[in-house]
Amino acid sequence: MEIDQFLFKHLNFNKIAVIFLDSDEKNSGFDIFILKKKKKVVSIEKAMTGVEELAPMHDQLKNIPIFLTIYGEKLVERILENETANKFNSTSGNELLTHAVELNDGKKYLTIIKKNLLDGLIDKVRSKDLKIYGISFSIFSLLDHLNLFQEQDFCIPLGGKCFVVEKQNLKVIQKDVTNSNQEFHFFNEKRKIKEIIALSTGINFYINEPVSLINNETIKLDSKRINYNRIYQSVSQKLLFLLFAFLVINVLVDQYIGKKLLELDQYVSTQEKSIDQIEEFNKIRSLKKQLPILTNSDRQFPLCYLVNELAYYSDECIKINYLEINPITKKIKANEAIEMETNLLQLKGEISQTEGFSDFITKLDSADWVKNISKKNYYWSPEKKVAEIELQIQINE
């Protein structure tokens, strides 16, 4: 596959322009049609007739393929037998340019134009700093689309000539004796002939059919420049999009990573504080364990340590309301010795979660200062929506 074919296949021109130019230099105006393609539909976006100057339209035309359609009396057009057409075609030289197209009935549609006349017509467009993508003659673009006319036998008027069509085939070219503004039914709509030729040119272009009939080095160079300019624009747009997407992704990733680092930093800070608190608690607990105080027994109990231990093993759902060490067993009377339970801790409180009570008992049982838990009362209070608990804990001597 040639590089031009490869480029054409992968380029996406959404707009093209078809400019009609009369071969008679006396008729110097331009008829311009700008076509657009949306999905698979080709339509005319803008049509202008009798335009004297291309300069005001430079911005609209400079970046899209321009197809020049040359017609008129100075363009020689004939329908000839195959051999005769081949003789004319072989005489093409420095002064004349010929092009022959085979028709369905075996004959050929031959066009002849003077080279200097063609060069002058091309310069009319290129002198305005516009590049021509292809050149076509007269009704050439229509030849493959005659079946899209609703009319069966009719005459196509263009440039003072009448192109007679019979049974969807071009048969005769004669002097125009019909109304040049005649409309035809094409693609189920009534249209004038130049509009139909412009649409056919667009269809041929988008289905990759030959559009340009002249093997002109200037036109070939122009078409390559248009293709490469389109590639540059397309690649630039894609690169800008990718760059923008990369920047957006980079910002989002940076924000996400920053957020996660902040969360991790906060988590580490919290854990460090917790570790410091635990270390401080263990230090205090160790000190309290070494500070015995006198109780109402002959033995010294580390009261601060025991209270601290209860707080250590209890959860947030436990509330201790009453705590007594070595409780008195009977009323105190004068002249009688005070009787009390030794090595015993009596506890009363409330708990808001049922499972928290069994966890609390399990933890206490594992403590090295607990000998056993002799009494375990548990009563649920519907009014308070808490459980009332009572424990008696035997302390190791």
> Which domain CATH number covers 83?
3.30.420.380
Q: How confident is the model at residue 197 (pLDDT cuts 50, 70, 90)?
A: very high
Q: Mean pLDDT over residues 50-62, rounded?
A: 84
| Residues 202 and 299 both lie in one domain | no
Token output for 46: 């803008």
Residue 31 or residue 327, greater confidence: 31
| Residues 12 and 115 both lie in one domain | yes
Q: pLDDT tens for residues 103-123?
A: 888 788 888 888 888 888 888
Phi, psi (5° rounding) for residue 320?
A: -90, 120
CATH code where residue 370 lies: 3.30.1360.100
| Residues 29 and 177 both lie in one domain | yes
| Residues 201 and 315 both lie in one domain | no
pLDDT of residue 10: 45
Q: pLDDT tens for residues 332-388?
A: 666 666 677 778 888 888 888 877 788 888 888 888 888 888 877 888 888 888 888
> How far is residue 343 CA from its own chain's centroid?
77
In-domain check, residue 266: no
Mean pLDDT of the chain: 79
In-domain check, residue 74: yes
In-domain check, residue 255: no
In-domain check, residue 233: no
| Residues 297 and 210 both lie in one domain | no
| Residues 16 and 108 both lie in one domain | yes
In-domain check, residue 221: no
| Residues 171 and 75 both lie in one domain | yes
In-domain check, residue 338: yes
| Residues 54 and 171 both lie in one domain | yes
User: Which conformational region is residue 97 in: left (phi greater than 0), alpha (psi within -120 to 50 degrees), or beta?
Assistant: beta
**For 163-172, 292-301, 323-332, which range has the lowest pLDDT when averaged over its residues?**
292-301
**For 51-60, 90-99, 187-196, which range has the lowest pLDDT when averaged over its residues?**
90-99
Strand order of the sheet with strand 161-166?
Answer: 154-158, 161-166, 169-175
pLDDT of residue 216: 67
Is residue 5 scored above 80 in pLDDT?
no
pLDDT of residue 196: 93
| Residues 99 and 204 both lie in one domain | yes
Q: How confident is the model at residue 91 (pLDDT cuts 50, 70, 90)?
A: low
pLDDT of residue 34: 92
Q: What CA–CA distance (Å, rounded) separates 26 from 191?
A: 27
CB neighbours of residue 171 within 10 Å? 15
Share of the chain above pLDDT 70, in %: 77
**Which runs of consecutive H residues, i.e. helices, occur in the chain?**
3-10, 58-61, 82-90, 115-126, 193-206, 217-289, 303-313, 354-366
| Residues 306 and 164 both lie in one domain | no
Give residue 50's domain range: 3-215
Q: Mean pLDDT over residues 236-265, rounded?
A: 83
Q: How many domains does the chain have?
A: 2
Q: Mean pLDDT over residues 27-47, rounded?
A: 87
**For 160-164, 267-271, 303-307, which range has the lowest pLDDT when averaged over its residues?**
303-307
**For 20-34, 91-105, 174-188, 271-285, which range has the lowest pLDDT when averaged over its residues?**
271-285
In-domain check, residue 231: no
**Domain boundary residue, one of 197, 215, 233:** 215
**Domain boundary residue, one of 168, 191, 215:** 215
| Residues 32 and 122 both lie in one domain | yes
In-domain check, residue 274: no
Q: How confident is the model at residue 198 (pLDDT cuts 50, 70, 90)?
A: very high
Is residue 180 scored above 70 in pLDDT?
no
| Residues 208 and 299 both lie in one domain | no
Pair 98, 112: CB distance under 8 Å: yes
Q: Mean pLDDT over residues 159-166, rounded?
A: 89
pLDDT of residue 334: 63
The verdict on pTM exceeding 0.85 is no
Q: What CA–CA distance (Å, rounded) separates 314 from 377?
A: 17
pLDDT of residue 35: 92
Residue 296 or residue 218, greater confidence: 218
Q: How confident is the model at residue 293 (pLDDT cuts 50, 70, 90)?
A: very low
Residues with Cβ within 8 Å of residue 373, at least 6 apart in sequence: 361, 364, 365, 391, 392, 393, 394
pLDDT of residue 7: 47
**Domain boundary residue, one of 215, 230, 251:** 215
Share of the chain above pLDDT 90, in %: 6
